């Protein structure tokens, strides 16, 4: 039985719930029962020995958590007299509660996060508790029958079904395993030799762990390469139910779960000061962070670069870059081996925000520190809850010498195979061969049709402010004079009332009015009331004799960071607007030079291939053929 069929088989228990429970509630019953049965199957071979040892030690002062896990052959244990197949039909709920209560604390918390007691009570009231219990008791979920990897896939199928029935978004909880495999391969491959050493122990972290699939797949992959290597998982997850599944999964795999944390990563980092060898994450796409806005802004303003969000803050509508900065805060110093990071993001973090914005400053921080190694564009329709294009960012603070100061972009949008059956929005998947092909492109680090290599500075630019002179033609009309009389220059209205004709410069206009000089406020009013823009008029000069800038003609130019501003301006601007100039007062806050520095990665631009339009004769022939077809059809109707 494959994972999807097993998930469907388990989900069929929901048939017994129809009528008494809403469809959206099925998962809240089925998921914890599945976890309970899985834990039970894991403990079944040593159940009797654990029970015997418990009876012998329960009256002593021995810490059972130090003894019984060893006897159980797991990181958890249970000392109840009951099991799912023996809870009985009369006191089912009380016996089940006794069974769950006598798990070790690390396993018992799983059911607390599922709020399982409440669902047991509801099942009892519906006279369904014993029936559902017996249905799960008949399913064999022992690791010898269903491996940890397969069980992870079963949980993912169950969650997807749960999400569909609840009209929820399953993609918030887990990442498709093909995408995970590609990300882990890209992150681990450069360390392949180190991971194949003797007695290798590395730490790995996921800040938006979901059901823990990223961690599980990473552990499996390293184990494939070197069965003696160990990855120690660390994680934080916001959703209590998926957190419970993640904890259960890691317990079954034999890991200590004290480093799997529940809570919001952005507002409450529960692994502060920790640093890891590897970080992997697929944070939710485009999720607003307004609920934690105060905490994030406080950390940014009060701690600066000593905190996680020193470079800047993205717009509240998308917190993706907050997760990326959080992961970078977990990097180990280079002298301790450094850190490699793989994170799945949507397209917006590549280019959202202009020069000086929070997003641009975050990209600037990453690129100027030379942490970005590669970005891989993935095909659309790879995820369960969205069909948008996505990208894997690979980052490292100990890049190979060849990659220093460089960033590789890989276009893998054509690397996909069709799903035999769509799963939500997931209509495509990455085959093993395609994952290998993408990994080879990354490893080769060469220019090609689908691989481009850039200097980190190639993504930077200076936004200069281009000004043009304010050119006004002056005249006096009754309407203009009436408007002027309501300004600070009202005492000069009588003089302006005598002016006849139009003037293409301010001095001549004032001379005609017999006015030698206006106050600053009066002159501003005169420009606004009597002046009309005219490209043939003379520039309006300020007190120092310099042209005043016309705000309506103000434009911005993005000058590549590697190019001289003056050379760019002379080539791209002056031939078209000879009277323009650069506002040298607009300088960058960090380097003090003219122009505000910005960074963006316009991925599509670098891989765009011009497709010439079809020949006019070909288009004309097609139109004539269509016209003839329409005429023939009309002839049949009117015949």
pLDDT tens readout for residues 364-412: 999 999 999 999 999 998 887 777 889 999 999 999 999 999 999 999 9
433, 439, 441, 444: CA torsion to nearest 10? -130
DSSP summary character for residue 245? H
Q: Tell which wins on pLDDT, 301 or 148.
A: 301
CA dihedral in degrees (113, 118, 121, 123; nearest 10)? Answer: -70
Question: For residue 267, is pLDDT > 60?
Answer: yes
The model carries a pTM of 0.87
Look at residue 215 in the predicted model and tell me its pLDDT: 92
Query: Residue written as tokens 């006004």?
Result: 472
- Split at pLDDT 50, 70, 90, the class of 12 is confident
Q: Rounded to whole angstroms, how far apart are CA atoms 183 and 613?
A: 38
Average pLDDT, the chain: 91
> How many Å apart are CA 235 and CA 223, to the nearest integer?
19
Summarize the confidence of residues 348-365 as an average pLDDT.
Answer: 95
Q: Both tokens of residue 577?
A: 């607007």
Fold of 170-462: Rossmann fold (3.40.50)
User: Given this model, what pLDDT does residue 372 score?
Assistant: 98
Q: What is the band of 2 on the pLDDT scale with cuts at 50, 70, 90?
A: low
Q: What is the per-residue pLDDT across 310-333, written as a single tens digit (0 to 9) for each?
A: 999 999 999 999 999 999 999 999
Which token pair is 589? Answer: 């806050």
Contact between residue 395 and residue 341 where contact means Cβ atoms under 8 Å apart: yes
Residue 169 pLDDT > 60:
no
CB 415 within 8 A of CB 437: yes
| pLDDT band (50, 70, 90) for residue 569 | very high
CA distance 136 to 140: 9
The DSSP bridge pattern shows strands 406-411 and 451-455 to be: antiparallel
Among candidate residues 36, 50, 150, 42, the one with its CA nearest the CA of residue 84:
36
What are the structure tokens assigned to 80, written together? 């109840």
* Distance, CA of 318 to CA of 302 (rounded, Å): 22
Structural element, H or E, at residue 418: strand 417-423
- State the pLDDT at residue 636: 83
For the chain, give every domain's residue range. 3-163, 170-462, 469-551
Question: Tens digits of per-residue pLDDT, 585-637?
Answer: 999 999 999 999 999 999 988 998 878 888 899 999 999 999 999 998 888 88
| Angstrom distance (rounded) from CA 248 to CA 261 | 13
pLDDT of residue 174: 67
Q: What is the pLDDT of residue 364?
A: 98
What confidence tier does 260 reach under pLDDT thresholds 50, 70, 90? very high
Write the pLDDT tens digit of every residue in 97-106. Answer: 999 999 999 9
Q: How confident is the model at residue 171 (pLDDT cuts 50, 70, 90)?
A: very low
The answer to whether residues 339 and 396 touch, using CB atoms and an 8 Å cutoff, is yes
Mean predicted confidence (pLDDT) in 455-468: 97
Q: What is the pLDDT of residue 170?
A: 41
pLDDT digits (tens, 9 = 90+) for 273-286: 999 999 999 998 88
């Amino acid at each position: 039985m494959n994972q999807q069929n097993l998930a469907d088989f388990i989900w069929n228990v929901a048939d017994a719930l129809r009528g008494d429970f809403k469809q959206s509630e099925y998962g809240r019953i089925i998921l914890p029962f599945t976890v309970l049965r899985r834990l039970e199957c894991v403990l079944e071979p040593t159940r009797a020995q654990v029970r015997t040892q418990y009876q012998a030690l329960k009256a002593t002062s021995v810490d059972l958590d130090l003894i019984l896990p060893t006897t159980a052959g797991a990181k958890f244990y249970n000392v109840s007299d009951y099991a799912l197949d023996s809870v009985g039909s009369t006191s089912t709920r009380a016996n089940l509660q006794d069974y769950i209560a006598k798990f070790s604390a690390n396993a018992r918390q799983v059911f607390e996060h599922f709020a399982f007691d409440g669902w047991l009570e509801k099942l009892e009231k519906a006279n369904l508790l014993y029936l559902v219990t017996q249905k799960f008791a008949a399913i064999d979920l022992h690791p010898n029958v269903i491996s940890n990897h397969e069980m992870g896939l079963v949980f993912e199928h169950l969650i997807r079904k749960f999400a569909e029935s609840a009209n929820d978004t399953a993609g918030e909880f887990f990442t498709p395993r093909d995408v995970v495999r590609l990300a882990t391969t890209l992150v681990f491959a450069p360390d392949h030799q180190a991971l194949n050493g003797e007695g290798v122990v590395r730490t790995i972290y996921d800040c938006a762990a979901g059901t823990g699939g990223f961690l599980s797949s990473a552990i499996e992959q390293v184990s494939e390469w070197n069965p003696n290597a160990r990855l120690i998982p660390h994680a934080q997850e916001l959703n209590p139910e998926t957190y419970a599944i993640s904890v259960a999964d890691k317990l079954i795999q034999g890991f200590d779960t004290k480093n799997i944390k529940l809570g919001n990563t952005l507002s409450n980092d529960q692994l502060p000061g920790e640093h890891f060898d590897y970080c992997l994450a697929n944070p939710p796409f485009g999720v607003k962070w307004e609920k934690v806005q105060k905490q994030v802004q406080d950390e940014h303003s009060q701690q600066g670069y000593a905190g996680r969000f020193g470079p800047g803050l993205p717009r509240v509508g998308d917190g993706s870059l907050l997760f990326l900065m959080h992961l970078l805060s977990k990097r180990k110093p280079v002298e301790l081996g450094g850190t490699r990071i793989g994170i799945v993001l949507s397209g917006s973090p590549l280019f959202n925000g202009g020069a000086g914005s929070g997003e641009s400053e975050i990209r600037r921080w990453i690129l100027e520190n030379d942490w970005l190694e590669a970005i891989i564009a993935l095909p659309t329709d790879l995820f369960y809850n969205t069909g948008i294009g996505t990208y894997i960012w690979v980052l490292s603070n100990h890049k190979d010498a060849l990659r220093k100061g460089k960033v590789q972009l890989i276009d893998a949008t054509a690397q996909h195979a069709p799903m035999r059956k769509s799963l939500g929005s997931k209509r495509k998947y990455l085959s093993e061969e395609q994952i290998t092909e993408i990994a080879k492109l990354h490893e080769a680090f060469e220019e090609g049709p689908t691989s481009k290599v850039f200097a980190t500075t190639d993504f930077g630019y200076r936004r200069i402010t281009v000004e043009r002179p304010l050119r006004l033609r002056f005249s006096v009309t009754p309407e203009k004079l009436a408007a002027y009389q309501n300004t600070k220059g009202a005492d000069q209205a009588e003089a302006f009332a005598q002016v006849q004709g139009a003037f293409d410069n301010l001095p001549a206009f004032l001379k005609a009015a017999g006015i030698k000089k206006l106050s600053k406020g009066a002159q501003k009013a005169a420009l606004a009331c009597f002046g009309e823009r005219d490209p043939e008029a003379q520039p309006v000069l300020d007190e120092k004799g310099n042209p005043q800038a016309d705000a309506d003609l103000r434009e911005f130019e993005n000058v590549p960071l590697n190019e001289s501003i003056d050379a760019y301006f002379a080539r791209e601007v002056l031939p078209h607007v000879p009277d323009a100039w650069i506002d040298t007062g607009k300088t960058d806050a960090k380097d003090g030079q003219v122009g505000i520095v910005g960074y963006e990665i316009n991925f599509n631009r670098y891989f765009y291939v011009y497709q010439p339009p079809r020949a006019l004769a070909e288009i004309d022939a097609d139109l004539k053929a269509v016209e003839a077809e329409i005429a023939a059809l009309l002839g049949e109707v009117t015949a």
